[in-house]
A and B are shown apart, each in its own frame.
Chain A
Amino acid sequence: MTSIDNTAKPDAWFKIEQGVFKAGGRWTIAESARLDQQLRNLDAGPGEAITMDAGAVEKLDSTGAWLLLRTRKALENAGRTVGTLKVPERYASLLANLDHDDKKRRPPPAPRMSPWRYRLYRIGKATVEAGRQGWRMLGYLGRVTVETGEMIAAPRKNLRFAAMAVQVEETGISALPIVGLLAFLIGIVLAYQGADQLKRFGAEIFTINLLGVGVLREIGGLITAIIVAGRSGSAFTAHLGSMRVNQEIDAMQTMGLNTVDTLVLPRVIGLVISLPLLTFYANIMALIGGAMMCYFDLGITIPVFLRQLNQAVDVSTLMVGLVKAPVFAFVIALVGCYEGFQVERNAASVGQLTTRSVVESVFLVIVLDAAFSVMFSVLGV
């Protein structure tokens, strides 16, 4: 580590002789760490009056000057009467500049709490904040819903198809490789684990049932939604957040542009279009992965696989999975946009809110998925 500390040849010195504090050498920042320690343990000796003579100082900077002033203060606080503090003429203005009333500049002490109380305080604060956050998000959900409804009921002529198409491309088409690869791998894993267990009963063929129902009803949709929340939800927050930092959103508002209309709806609608399509694609890829595993691991040929799959699932199984996708999409886009608008004008804020946006949307997707399961079981689907 580079250091400017002058440890090789200490140069600044001070001593107390017959009621005179004498200092000399180079009183600069390079010597300050050492001087600081020594001055704190200063033994001023007997007597009451003391004078300070720093006339022999060759070089003085603001740190050194401040150490001199602090020493004077410390001596005064110890009950000594300090006469003048003498420094070379050229440093008189520096000293005068720093020699203000010390009381005014001392920062107020930070409020202190006992550790337990502080923990309690933090839990309470986080709880209240979570409640408020939920309340605000509900308000935002209401606003976006109303505006979406209005737009569907009476499509405005300035509906932003181009912006929407861009969002479909960004969130849908660009996500095809990653979603496809992950779904394919999930299909392999699921088929392998299923086959491994079911082999013991000689019921290998039911691996296909497990795979078909599992992927189509649950896994396909869930995996896709989580990937998209991490990929597009975060992008929404970061993009809108940067626009806020840059005052672009303020500019839009002053031009009378409705930010929900121009920024939120294209993203919400774009994602509501692309997520179900992505989910369907992920389902297919997962089934292909599973079919491959069945072929290599269990020796089930493709025609046999398809026949069994045909018996195991029907269109309603697929629909149960797909019907959730638009809801997930709506929530992901809503949270992403909402958090983007919460960004404050500093660099750390964008990062914090992007993290929060992803955590919240993944959380909500899983909660909603559970709610759907309960609902479907009640409905007997």
Chain B
Amino acid sequence: MVMEADKTGQAKKDVIIHVEDLVTGFGSKIIHDHLNLDVYRGEVLGLVGGSGSGKSVLLRTIIGLNAPRQGTIEVFGKRTGYAEGSRMRSLEVRWGVLFQEGALFSSQTVAENIQVPLREYTSMSQELMDEIAAMKIALVGLPPDTAQKLPSELSGGMKKRAGLARALALDPELLFLDEPTSGLDPISANQFDELIGELQESLGLTVFMVTHDLDSLAAITDRIAVLVDKKIKTGTIEELRKDTTPWIHEYFSGPRGHAALAGSH
């Protein structure tokens, strides 16, 4: 893709998310054992790993929903995890999060959902908020009448798009996506990948994406982080294909891996 060339061409290495020496766990179970990860400005990073390997936990820890046992997490150069109140707020307005099922507020229409952060953090007039909501709805490729619908009236794919519109409400610099294409049919999943690629490019976003979808990885990520044995290995698809760790080898060289990678070249 165009943006890949663009990114490798530029040697800017501005660290947006910095995770160092992270330890998390529940009870006696350790999930991340002294894990390190850097995410750079303007890249799309895909996080993969087996079921139960702690991908979602890592995402939740970075955005402050889960307290780490040990280690440092910095987003935009500020520590999260232990941050509270207004300091955390000042970070939260700079990132958007798309949860797996969209996590739309079920008692509000899609437009109202998008306006929640606008209402909370800006002094926009209702008129402007309506216009912005309509603009975001169009931006994520939903039909205009979606604005007045309730989340229960939307299909799974539409909910994800609406959730994305809400995540983009405050024009964040950083976007977290938790399995954005899970539960979508391959065509919708492709469209969603394309949408994220397009938005990433035109809005200049940094994207941190948890996914299981090899096609998404091949299509839109610049770099991949593999969560294996409680630690992280990063690299491009090509680099990781040569990796000899059993799980990584299996992942990229299994039948699904082959099909997805063949399709991308």
Contacts and interface: CB of A to CB of B under 8 A. Distances in A.
B125 to A, nearest CB: 6
Interface stretch (A60-68, A119-127, A180-188): A60-68
Interface stretch (B65-73, B143-151, B186-194): B143-151
A366 to B, nearest CB: 31
B5 to A, nearest CB: 15
A32 B124 contact: yes
Summarize A's interface: helix, strand, loop or mixed.
Answer: helix
B78 to A, nearest CB: 15
A377 interface: no
B6 to A, nearest CB: 11
A100 B121 contact: no
B147 A107 contact: yes
B132 A5 contact: no
A344 interface: yes
Interface stretch (A91-99, A140-148, A321-329): A91-99
B245 interface: no
B33 interface: no
Contacts of A94: 202-203
A107 B147 CA distance: 7
A354 interface: no
Given A62-B171, A94-B202, A107-B145, A5 B106 contact: no
A33 B171 contact: no
Given A97-B198, A346-B152, A66 B121 contact: no
Given A32-B124, A61-B203, A66 B132 contact: yes
Contact of A93 (B123, B134, B201): B201
Contact of A347 (B106, B122, B138): B106
Contacts of A46: none
Contact of A3 (B123, B144, B168): B123
A359 interface: no
Interface stretch (B19-27, B86-94, B174-182, B230-238): B86-94
Nearest to A62: B171
B151 A4 contact: no
Nearest to B2: A93
Contacts of A202: none
Contacts of A104: 144
A346 B147 contact: no
A98 B136 CA distance: 9
Nearest to B124: A33
A2 B114 CA distance: 18
B145 A108 contact: yes
B17 to A, nearest CB: 20
Contacts of B138: 98, 100, 105
Given A4-B93, A5-B122, A62-B171, A345 B139 contact: no
Contacts of B198: 97
Contacts of B97: none
A106 B144 contact: yes
Nearest to B152: A346
Contacts of B171: 28-29, 61-63
Contact of A5 (B123, B199, B201): B123
Interface in A71-103: 90, 93-94, 96-98, 100
B155 to A, nearest CB: 13
A344 B152 contact: yes
Contacts of B128: 32-33, 36
Closest 4 CB pairs of A and B: A61-B171, A94-B202, A105-B138, A2-B89
Given A33-B124, A94-B202, 17 more contacts: A2-B89, A2-B120, A2-B121, A3-B122, A4-B122, A32-B124, A36-B128, A61-B203, A63-B132, A94-B203, A97-B198, A106-B134, A107-B111, A107-B134, A108-B144, A108-B148, A346-B151
Interface of B: 86, 89-90, 93, 106-107, 111, 120-125, 128, 131-132, 134-139, 144-145, 147-148, 151-152, 168, 170-171, 198-199, 201-204
25 contacts: A2-B93, A2-B121, A3-B121, A3-B122, A4-B121, A4-B122, A4-B170, A5-B123, A28-B171, A29-B170, A29-B171, A30-B122, A33-B125, A36-B128, A61-B171, A62-B139, A96-B202, A98-B139, A100-B138, A105-B134, A107-B111, A107-B148, A108-B144, A345-B152, A348-B107
